[in-house]
Structure 1
Amino acid sequence: MKKILVTGANGQLGSELKVLAAQNAQFEWVFTDREELDLTDLKGLEARLTDIHPQIILNCAAHTAVDRAETEYDLSDVLNHQCVAILAQWSAAHAAKLIHISTDYVFDGTSAVALTEEAAVAPINVYGKTKLAGEQACLRENPEAIIIRTSWVYSTFGANFVKTMSRLMQERDSLNVVNDQIGSPTYAADLAKAIVSILNAGFWKCGIYHFSNEGEISWFEFAQAIQEIGGFDCAVSGIPSSAYPTPAQRPSYSLLDKSKIKQVYGVAVPDWRESLAQCMDLLRIEAN
């Protein structure tokens, strides 16, 4: 039985993988968060990996606070880059498979077409820069690794745009949401299923893959859909990013092209609205 180590187990993706683990008992799952495996302890990380000795590593951990990363460069670099290099080194030395999760923020946002895995990278904030450094270290130290870039992740777990909007729409009469940042949301449950389908594929094709839900929308359109599906009595208006300045600049266009993961692994990529409705149904059930 192959042992799978999941880092960042209490995050959105890690939590969704826990749900799927019960249905995939052909693997021995080891879920770790900071308490069980401190990725900031770079000196002790290799020894801890040897203690656990997984055959597969799913690195779902990251410093994802995009605005805080602007003033927390060191922590962001340790979690998004330096520890990834050690995970990749260890996995290569011990013939372990590695899937590392990355982000659409490695792009500068100037494209007008969906971004393939070969598109030029040029991150415009600290989060994106440290995640790109992590990708580069991952492939340098373990060329057999798989990297999956994703975007706008949400789920029933943790803090995210869907849960925040749902709460605010019940507290306020109106909301302004940026309408000039284009991409596609990712339901973490769908990404978790994609990862498990790769693990169960029976073959391993290394490299970079893109995964998000199908569709091309703005954050404003995403918020509109949350309002409609939730039946919230709140007016949602679109505003330009310039009217809502943030410490970290965001790419204005980061839609991911999912052709490769569909062709290579036959991964199903649901439409964003269908997945959003599923997630909000679960949140409604939990609330009651």
Structure 2
Amino acid sequence: MTSPIATTIDQRNSGEDIPWNVHKASPTKVIGSVIGYAAMLAVSAFVLLPFVWMVLSSLKPNNEVYAIPIKWFPSVWQWGNYLGIWTKSDMMTWLVNTVFFAIVVTFLQVFTGSFAAYGFSKIPFRGRTTLFLIYIATMAVPWQAYMIPQFKMISAVGLSDTRWSIILLQAFGAFGVFMMKQFYDTIPEDLSEAARLDGLSEFGIYWRIILPLSGPSLAALAIITFTNTWNDYMGPLIYLRSQKLYTIQLGLKLFISQYNADYAMIMTGSVLSVLPILIVFLIGQKQFIAGIATSGMKG
């Protein structure tokens, strides 16, 4: 039996007329597609508009940022704002501290989350399901409920106002365990059983078999963790008091308190704080989408 596609190709090669319904979509589908794309463009513009305004405001003279009526484009492009903020603030220290915390916490959360998820998914033991449910239930407890006891514990061991306070508190996360377990459950158990028969230890199975298959999910978890750590404000605010340890979020708050009337410079600092997150997401966008799709976290 000849397929419709082959028939269409033969008709095109022979010069015969091709039925209109082969290459023309119905008017209803065309209208639906146009409406769908228009809606997506409208939503995208709505989401991007504040960021565009922030970028343009960072290049304006200070008196034009909140001018009425709104001036979208500056009369004189102030590119010097992106040089001046480095001399007016300790931006380099803030960025270095934030990058350090984001990278270290992301690495630890990805490792501990994926390793714990392997145990819950691939190692049978008594009470595994109950323990997993109890652990995941901690995500429902708001951080404000145990914020004070946590601070007292960190202070009691002398780690307050040190980098260790942020690293230890964020090195483990129930969300990462839950996300990675959802993906590990989709990996056939036969792979683990075959590896055990070949003499591999559980860590060897995790390291040599499971992890190489988990690239997209690991990338998605890494991007989520990196973004959350970068944007964290309350944690550094509570535990870090020395300005040499300030992150970009605390640094911008300090900068705003000192230059609260320099709106253009504030917008410049805000752009610099958002730019690394944007770059990370653009680089790992495909892996992020693939990881969410394969981990059972689709909305």
TM-score by length of 1: 0.22
Q: Which structure is higher in strand share?
A: 1
Structure possessing the higher relative contact order (Cα contacts under 8 Å, 6 or more residues apart): 2
TM-score by length of 2: 0.21
